[in-house]
Amino acid sequence: MNEHNPNLRFSPGAIRSQPAAGEPRPASVELGPQALQALSHLDNDFISPRMLCGLWRLGEAAVIFALGVVLGKPWQADGGVDGLAVVATAAAGAFVASTILASAHAYDLPMLRAAGTRLWRVAAGLGLAVGFVAAALALIAPKGALEGFPLVTWYLCALAVVIAGRLVLGQNLRRWARNGRMERRALIVGGGRNAETLIRGLELAPGNDIRICGIFDDRDDRRSPPLVAGYPKLGTIPELVEFARRTRIDMLIVTLPLSAEDRLLALLRQLWVLPLDIRLAAHAGELKFRPRTYSYVGTVPLIDIVDRPLADWDGIAKRILDVVAASAAILLLSPLMLAAAIAVRLDSPGPVIFRQKRHGFNNQAVEIFKFRSLYQEASDPEARQIVTKNDKRVTRVGAFIRKTSIDELPQLFNVLRGDLSLVGPRPHAIHAKSSRNETFTEIVDGYFGRHKVKPGITGWAQIHGWRGEIDEPEKLVKRFEYDLYYIENWSLLLDLYILAMTPVSLLRTEAAY
């Protein structure tokens, strides 16, 4: 983008830069009656289009594979071929069919929705896959071995099942679209003529799966009408942030022209903290970019500004890792947790488990579990006073389990509940302050950007030594920087590396008390 106009720099660093002098920090806001009414019509019973397309692809591949194995049984018995050859042939056919159909865009939502008129692609794709398997068998299998395998029957059965499934799916997709269950929900940022042009373009776009849930704009009704193309203006930009945290929203589409760079950056500094895709309506500007710069909804061009982290399959992969690893850890560490619970109970009166509200995903409150490390009468669920070195409120057992992080082990059950992840930014108490009595949002602008993913028991900041008391603003800033690095560079390998390094990092106990 910069090669066309060097003044346009919508990098994450620019978006996260500090606000101008005198610019107010975001405060809690109340939604207006129109926004509350719109929320009442948006539930969270939905199917992600991208997720469904991926699952359907896996399902069709599984069906083709299963049919190949079942129909290959007689070939195995009559031809003296072992079962592994049958399985390998069926797997090859399923993989090739899935790859060919994906290359032909047969798993795109418009194709699945309009399955009845485009099934010839499916028939051709399956035919090519079976032809590939026949050619491979002719080249690799022993002479005459191919004669017993019912390739034509396999093709016809697979085609019948796949077509029947797609006809049913297409009908349901259209019904789900009418009911609001199969959609990407979008909010328009900025009203007026640009917003109207965008909305009209989306309404005419073939295969459009975007549902516009409302418009938000800081400008008054004179510059930004209260109703644009039939959609109401629901509030200001701070109200948009609150709205997006109360229901599922997938995308923000900004309709400001590229020439309004200062205003765009000011908007993005408020919006990037949300775990959403942020797109810029490309029709609003006269600059033209290379084709790969754009993503499209039908024929409507959008410029990708911010991508939602851990979307769809990434989120599923991370959740699987969380459940498997947390379950294994609970089994392995149960003797240690039992011993810690007994020690806490014997050391001082009060409950073994300490519960505290902390910021979770998308700034929502979650209740986390810890072994109690403070005297019951001095416990501080709201974290109004942080624990400092040689704090008199800490029990004898509490000092040990805090230093070794054993007090955090009950959070493995938070992981199974879905409140936390094994790896992510550490959750801070909702009312937490530094030792200088500063709130974290006062120390770090854009602090809530670390809540774009689920918080974790351990994280990138923790294995680099940024844990314990926040007695200097720089310590929170460093944690924030490491958390953002993790969010922007997430991978399963990074999670596994952090998990492997966590026991090593616990040997550094200077900041843990």
Same domain, 428 and 323: yes
Same domain, 361 and 372: yes
Q: For position 304, what pLDDT does the model report?
A: 84
Q: For position 143, what pLDDT does the model report?
A: 61
Same domain, 319 and 371: yes
Domain annotation covers residue 6: no
d(CA 50, CA 277): 14
Q: Please, where are the H alpha helices in 4-143?
A: 12-15, 33-40, 49-71, 73-79, 83-103, 109-113, 119-140
Q: What is the pLDDT of residues 421-468, one digit of tens each?
A: 999 999 988 877 766 667 787 778 778 888 899 999 999 999 988 876
Same domain, 383 and 395: yes
Alpha carbon distances (Å) from 433 to 374, 383, 392: 18, 8, 19
Q: Residue 271's CB: how many other CB atoms inside 10 A?
A: 22
Q: For position 19, what pLDDT does the model report?
A: 44
Q: For position 24, what pLDDT does the model report?
A: 42
165: containing domain = 49-179
Q: For position 127, what pLDDT does the model report?
A: 92
Domain annotation covers residue 510: no
Which of 179, 200, 225 is the last residue in one of the domains?
Answer: 179
Cβ pair 359, 452 in contact under 8 A: no
Q: For position 20, what pLDDT does the model report?
A: 41
Which tokens is 225 given? Answer: 């009408």
Q: For position 322, what pLDDT does the model report?
A: 95
Q: For position 118, what pLDDT does the model report?
A: 74
Q: For position 180, what pLDDT does the model report?
A: 65
Counted domains in the chain: 3
Residues of the chain with pLDDT under 70: 1-28, 43-47, 74-83, 115-117, 141-148, 180, 206-207, 283-294, 298, 384, 434-437, 468-469, 471, 508-513
Which of 306, 341, 358 is the last residue in one of the domains?
Answer: 306
Q: What is the pLDDT of residues 309-358, one digit of tens each?
A: 887 778 888 999 999 999 999 999 999 999 999 999 999 999 999 999 99
Q: For position 139, what pLDDT does the model report?
A: 78
Q: For position 22, what pLDDT does the model report?
A: 39
Domain annotation covers residue 513: no
Q: For position 423, what pLDDT does the model report?
A: 96
Same domain, 280 and 330: no
Which of 162, 179, 196 is the last residue in one of the domains?
Answer: 179
Same domain, 320 and 371: yes
Amino acid at 498: I
User: pTM here?
Assistant: 0.75
Helix or strand holding residue 279 (H, E): strand 277-281
Domain annotation covers residue 274: yes
